[in-house]
């Protein structure tokens, strides 16, 4: 086998080849998202903290945050209203409700007062290389978010904040849990302007240079990524609310959108928000129907059937409350998925991929190009007829909890196959193969070894009698591509330079059958690149070759400050 072509099924590695330890290609902790750190320019010395231009959040911030204390108190009282409050009323007589109301008012005032003090003690400052945040009332802390480690910048508007025109700016940086910085709350226009400034500086533009505003109605042009079949109309002619037409998707070129000229300008505060080109949007009707056709609906029907069976078997309606928490969990999951995926729109701009979504809480995400570590395209069983797909990504700095995976890590909540491919081209416009459409189609629905796929051998059916035909992996010049799943189809794409570490796993039955599972470790997120039950010799050869590819790709990767001038 060679490192520049896909692995043939059943291929045998060279004599003496051994599995490469998983840490052979591991990167240092916290450096997962920037493999080209060595090529990045050195940071200029930061000025002393006392010399920075410190700024405060909006004065209404204490009111926006303080009401949560009132809601929490009311929730506790409602939870205990059937027992503790009633007993308290009996003890205190007619004055009970007056005491309760007085306690609520006192706790609320304390909450608002603490929020006001915390607001006064919280300040932030922006320099060419970092965002500094001071906070804390009893225990003071100062945090620093380096802009060269910036992964994404989100503008979040909870319902109350949106009503009064405020926004929260969330900065996600490469690092462990809690490495992000939140600036809450700012005026909406100020948050948008600050986001544009931070993304420009993270891209390599410091004071003295900024993107030149595009002429109204103009859009940057560039060659499209390889595709099969006729192309759709150019994205420059797409209206903001239009959905791409069916057929083979036109492929935007992010590099073209990121090649705007730069001109000197000292006035950062007046710098306009970078122009953008709409790519796709998700109709509300489709999102609602897809939520009803998700696995959560299947579990809901099963639980309702279990509740009915429990009532019939016991003859007591109260026994059904045993399943109430699980039932509420399923309903909450479905509502969260719909609420946070509503009004979903995607666009490309010089500062990255812009995603806007949310019903009660509006969120505007900006993911700089090159920060996506892995991409996953999935399709549930109930989506087969409509040929709908969901696209999720791993981005260093974002978390991997269920709530975050439904919002921050979603590139497309539900879309047609063409829209799913379009989302894939946004983060990886070049798959390193002559026919990327055929490669992706084989990964989405294929079951054979055609096209250079290394598939699970027939003997693996003893371990996976249903899905063994779907297990496969192939390699291109740019990425490692893995497929799996029969009931839930899955395709995972990982650029070579984003490989963190590699692992082979063998259970006792796999060893007896000569099989092994290959796993690639990515940054935390919903995507876990793995393919099971490959031939053990093929998996070992793949491990060695992928380790070499990852080293070569990282060595040749350029700096991630994509708008830095030469």
Q: What is the mean pLDDT of the chain?
A: 76
Q: Is the dihedral of CA 426, 432, 435, 438 positive or negative?
A: negative
**Tokens encoding 444:** 């989405």
Contact 529, 522 (CB under 8 A): yes
CA distances from 339 to 288, 299, 353, 358, 526 (A): 10, 19, 21, 6, 19
Residue 24, Cα to own-chain centre: how many angstroms? 27
- Rounded Cα distance, 383 and 416, in Å: 10
Q: What is the pLDDT of residues 113-165, one digit of tens each?
A: 888 888 999 999 998 889 999 998 888 888 888 888 887 889 999 888 888 99
- Helices 324-341, 295-314: axis angle to 10 degrees equals 160
Q: What is the pLDDT of residues 203-257, one digit of tens each?
A: 766 554 444 343 333 333 333 333 433 333 333 333 333 334 334 455 455 444 4
- Rounded Cα distance, 495 and 374, in Å: 7
Note the residue count of the chain.
Answer: 566
Asked if residue 185 has a cis previous peptide bond (ω within 30° of 0), the answer is yes
Kindly state the DSSP code that residue 55 receives in the 8-state scheme.
B
pLDDT at residue 105, rounded to an integer: 82
Element spanning 62, H or E: helix 61-80
Q: What is the pLDDT of residues 255-302, one digit of tens each?
A: 444 343 334 344 444 455 678 899 999 999 999 999 999 888 888 888
pLDDT at residue 325, rounded to an integer: 78
Question: Worst-scoring range by mean pLDDT, 240-254, 386-400, 402-416, 511-525?
Answer: 240-254
pLDDT confidence of 13, banded at 50, 70, 90? very low
Q: What's the whole-number mean pLDDT along residues 371-377?
A: 92
Q: What's the whole-number mean pLDDT along residues 485-510?
A: 94
Give one DSSP letter per residue of 424-485, joined into a string: HHHH-S--SSS-HHHHHHHHHH--SSTTT-EE--GGGGGT-TTTGGG-EEEE-SSEEEEEE-
- Quote the percentage of the chain above a pLDDT of 70: 69
Give yes or no for residue 531 having a pLDDT over 90.
yes
Q: What's the whole-number mean pLDDT along residues 428-447?
A: 92
Contact 167, 155 (CB under 8 A): yes
**Tokens encoding 316:** 């007591």
pLDDT at residue 115, rounded to an integer: 84
Residue with token string 């991409």? 375
Contact 235, 252 (CB under 8 A): yes
For 61-99, give one letter per residue: b (16+ CB within 10 A) or e.
bbbbbbeebbeebeeeeeeeeeeebeeeeeeeeeebeee
Contacts of 412 (CB under 8 A, 6+ apart): 280, 282, 344, 346, 389, 390, 391, 419, 420, 423
pLDDT at residue 85, rounded to an integer: 52
Q: What's the whole-number mean pLDDT along residues 383-410?
A: 78
Question: Worst-scoring range by mean pLDDT, 92-101, 387-396, 504-513?
Answer: 92-101
Contacts of 518 (CB under 8 A, 6+ apart): 473, 502, 503, 504, 530, 531, 534, 539, 542, 543
Q: What is the pLDDT of residues 24-60, one digit of tens each?
A: 434 333 334 444 343 344 444 555 656 788 999 999 8
Contacts of 199 (CB under 8 A, 6+ apart): 150, 153, 274, 351, 352, 366, 368
Contacts of 279 (CB under 8 A, 6+ apart): 235, 238, 244, 252, 346, 347, 348, 422, 426
Give yes or no for residue 403 having a pLDDT over 80.
no
Percent helix, strand and coil across the chain, each to the nearest 5: 40, 20, 40
Give yes or no for residue 513 having a pLDDT over 50.
yes
Contact 451, 460 (CB under 8 A): no
- Rounded Cα distance, 444 and 175, in Å: 32
pLDDT at residue 86, rounded to an integer: 56
Residue 500, Cα to own-chain centre: how many angstroms? 18
CA max distance for the chain: 89
- Rounded Cα distance, 518 and 543, in Å: 8
């Amino acid at each position: 086998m060679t490192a520049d072509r896909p692995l043939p099924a059943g291929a045998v590695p060279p004599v003496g080849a051994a599995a490469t330890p998983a840490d052979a290609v591991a990167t240092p902790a916290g450096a997962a998202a920037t493999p080209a750190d060595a090529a990045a320019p050195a940071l200029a010395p930061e000025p002393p903290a006392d010399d920075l231009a410190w700024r405060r959040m909006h004065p209404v911030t204490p009111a926006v945050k303080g009401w949560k204390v009132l809601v929490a108190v009311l929730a506790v009282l409602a939870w205990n209203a059937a027992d503790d409050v009633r007993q308290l009323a009996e003890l205190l007589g007619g004055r009970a409700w007056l005491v309760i109301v007085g306690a609520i008012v006192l706790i609320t005032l304390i909450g608002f007062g603490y929020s006001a003090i915390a607001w006064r003690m919280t300040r932030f400052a922006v320099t060419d290389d970092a965002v500094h945040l001071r906070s804390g009332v009893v225990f003071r802390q100062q945090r620093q978010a380096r802009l060269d480690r910036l992964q994404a910048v989100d503008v979040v508007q909870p319902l109350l904040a949106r009503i009064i025109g405020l926004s929260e700016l969330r900065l996600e940086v490469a690092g462990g849990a809690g490495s992000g910085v939140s600036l809450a709350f700012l005026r909406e226009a100020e948050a948008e302007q600050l986001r544009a400034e931070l993304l420009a500086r993270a891209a390599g533009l410091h004071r003295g240079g900024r993107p030149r505003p595009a002429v109204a109605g103009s859009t940057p042009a560039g060659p499209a990524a390889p595709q099969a079949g006729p192309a759709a109309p150019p994205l420059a002619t797409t209206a903001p609310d239009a959905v791409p037409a069916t057929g083979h998707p036109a492929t935007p070129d992010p590099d073209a959108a990121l090649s705007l000229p730069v001109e000197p300008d000292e006035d950062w505060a007046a710098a306009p928000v970078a122009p953008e080109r709409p790519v796709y949007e998700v109709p509300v009707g489709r999102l609602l129907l897809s939520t009803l056709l998700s696995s959560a609906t299947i579990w809901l029907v099963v639980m309702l059937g279990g509740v009915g069976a429990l009532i019939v078997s016991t003859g007591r309606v109260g026994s059904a409350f045993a399943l109430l928490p699980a039932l509420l969990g399923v309903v909450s999951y479905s509502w969260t998925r719909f609420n946070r995926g509503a009004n979903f729109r995607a666009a490309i701009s010089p500062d990255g991929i812009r995603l806007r979504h949310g019903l009660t809480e509006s969120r505007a995400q900006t993911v700089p190009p090159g920060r996506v570590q892995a991409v996953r395209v999935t399709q549930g069983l109930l989506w087969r007829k409509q040929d709908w797909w969901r696209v999720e990504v791993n981005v260093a700095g974002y978390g991997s909890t269920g709530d975050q995976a439904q919002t921050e890590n979603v590139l497309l909540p539900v879309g047609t196959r063409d829209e799913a491919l379009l989302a894939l081209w946004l983060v990886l416009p070049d798959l390193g193969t002559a026919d990327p459409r055929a490669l992706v189609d084989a990964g989405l629905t294929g079951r054979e070894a055609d096209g250079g796929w290394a598939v699970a051998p027939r003997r693996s059916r003893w371990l996976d009698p249903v899905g063994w035909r779907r297990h496969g992996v192939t390699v291109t010049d740019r990425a490692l591509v893995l497929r799996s799943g029969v009931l839930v189809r899955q395709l995972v794409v990982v650029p070579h330079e984003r490989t963190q570490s590699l692992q082979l796993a063998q259970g006792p039955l796999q060893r007896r059958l000569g099989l092994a599972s290959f796993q690639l470790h990515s940054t935390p997120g919903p995507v876990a690149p793995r393919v099971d039950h490959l031939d053990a010799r093929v998996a070992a050869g793949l491990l060695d070759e992928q380790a070499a590819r990852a080293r070569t790709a990282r060595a040749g990767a350029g700096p991630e400050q994509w708008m830095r001038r030469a």
